[in-house]
Structure 1
Amino acid sequence: MIVLGLTGSIGMGKSTTAAMFRDAGAPVWDADATVHRLYAPGGAAVAPVEAAFPGVVKDGGVDRPALSARLRAEPEGFRRLEAIVHPLVQADRHAFLTQAEAAEEPVVVLDIPLLFETGAADLVDAVVVVTAPDYVQRRRVLARPDMDEAKFAALLERQTPDAHKVARADFVIDTSFGLDHARHAVDEVLDTVGAPGWTPRRRGALHGKGEALQ
């Protein structure tokens, strides 16, 4: 089973591209969606997060704006949060891969926004980076509700620069050329990795412990 790591900075079109991989038949594991489930009412992260950050749970689930505000006030809290969330995210990813292997899926996609930042790029068979020119990224991001220049800048500071991601990618998909172009690029990636003789990058133990995927 080929494991692709999909990543891209905010506003580059990663979520849309992930949906294209899914539409093309490749199961996709979404790290962000996993965290949302963990934070939702009844989610496994709710109780331990409330214990670590009292007052951030509302209506049975983690209130993300409240948690973000707490972390801005207590930057050291990121480590406490990661110690809670990372093992739960890894367990969910492990279950996804196990199910995919049992189903004999030829290719799966791990959609991980911080693929490089967490070292997860070293654990997959190939990395797909979704990109777009700076001006396109800025226009897309600043069009989002409740987004401004300061928030945009803060988000970029936490992410590996786009040029560095592109330089380390096995495949690059530029979403600035439109949806049809992106779909064609997705099909090309799947055709390439599915071809006889294609050689993946060195991959670690995806089912092992210790990787900090998020």
Structure 2
Amino acid sequence: MIVVGLTGSIGMGKSTTAAMFATEGAPVYDADAEVHALYAKGGAAVAPLDEAFPGVVRDGAVDRALLSRQVVGKPDELKRLEAIVHPLVGATRAGFFEKAAAQGADIVILDIPLLFETGGEKRVDAVVVVSAPADIQRQRVLARPDMTEEKLDAILARQMADVEKRARAHFVIDTGQGLDHARDQVREVLAKLRDPAYVATLRRVEGGGEAAH
């Protein structure tokens, strides 16, 4: 089973691309969805985050907006948050892999927003980066409720630059040219990953990769 890391900066269309992979038959593990579950009432992250960041829990669940205010733009606080959440998220992957293997999946997709930032590329066989022109990215993100230029800049400051992600990827999917174009690229990626000749040469991304456009 080939493990693919899917990543991309905010507003690049990663979630839409992940859905395309799922439609094409590749099971997708959504790390952000797992975080939502961990933050929900009864979630495993609620108690430790309540202790580490007093005031972020409301009605038994972590309020992401309140938590964001305590960590955005504060590297040390962000590291403390990641030290709590990342191990919990990692623990949920075992069930996903077991289910995918039972279903006979040959390729699985790990949708991880901060793949490179957390060193996750070392634990996958190939990396797909979702990208789009910077002006389209900003337009998409600023159209979201409660998003501001300042907030967007703070988010981008803690994410690896898109140009660096592209350089380190095995594949780059450009979502700036419409859904049909992106879907065609997804199919091309899956076809290549199912090509024994390519798989034989596949190596883990360690500071560089083979970007395909």
Q: TM-score, normalised by structure 1?
A: 0.90
* Structure-2 change in CA distance of 1:203 and 1:165 (3 Å): closer
Report the equivalent of 1:97: 97
Q: How does 1:146-185 map to 2 (within 5 A)?
A: 146-185=146-185
* Structure-2 change in CA distance of 1:165 and 1:74 (3 Å): closer
Percent identical among aligned pairs is: 63
Report the equivalent of 1:209: none
* Structure-2 change in CA distance of 1:42 and 1:93 (3 Å): same
Task: Please report how far the alpha carbon of residue 72 of structure 1 lies from its aligned counterpart in structure 2 after TM superposition.
Answer: 4.7
Distance across 1 between alignment mates of 2:62 and 2:147: 21
Tell me if the contact between 1:123 and 1:203 (Cα under 8 Å) persists in the aligned partners: no
Task: Please report how far the alpha carbon of residue 74 of structure 1 lies from its aligned counterpart in structure 2 after TM superposition.
Answer: 6.3
Task: Please report how far the alpha carbon of residue 177 of structure 1 lies from its aligned counterpart in structure 2 after TM superposition.
Answer: 0.9
1:194 aligns with 2:197: no
Deviations 1:96-135 (A, max 9, x none): 1232223321110000111111111122111101111111
Distance across 2 between alignment mates of 1:71 and 1:129: 26
Structure 2: stretches of 5+ with no match in the other structure: 207-213
Tell me if the contact between 2:72 and 2:78 (Cα under 8 Å) persists in the aligned partners: no
Task: Please report how far the alpha carbon of residue 83 of structure 1 lies from its aligned counterpart in structure 2 after TM superposition.
Answer: 2.4
Q: How does 1:100-119 map to 2 (within 5 A)?
A: 100-119=100-119
Report the equivalent of 2:67: 67
* Structure-2 change in CA distance of 1:74 and 1:168 (3 Å): closer
Q: TM-score, normalised by structure 2?
A: 0.90
The alignment covers a number of residue pairs equal to 204
Task: Please report how far the alpha carbon of residue 138 of structure 1 lies from its aligned counterpart in structure 2 after TM superposition.
Answer: 1.2
Distance across 2 between alignment mates of 1:4 and 1:28: 9
* Structure-2 change in CA distance of 1:187 and 1:46 (3 Å): same
Report the equivalent of 1:11: 11
Aligned residues: CA RMSD: 1.7
Distance across 2 between alignment mates of 1:117 and 1:203: 13
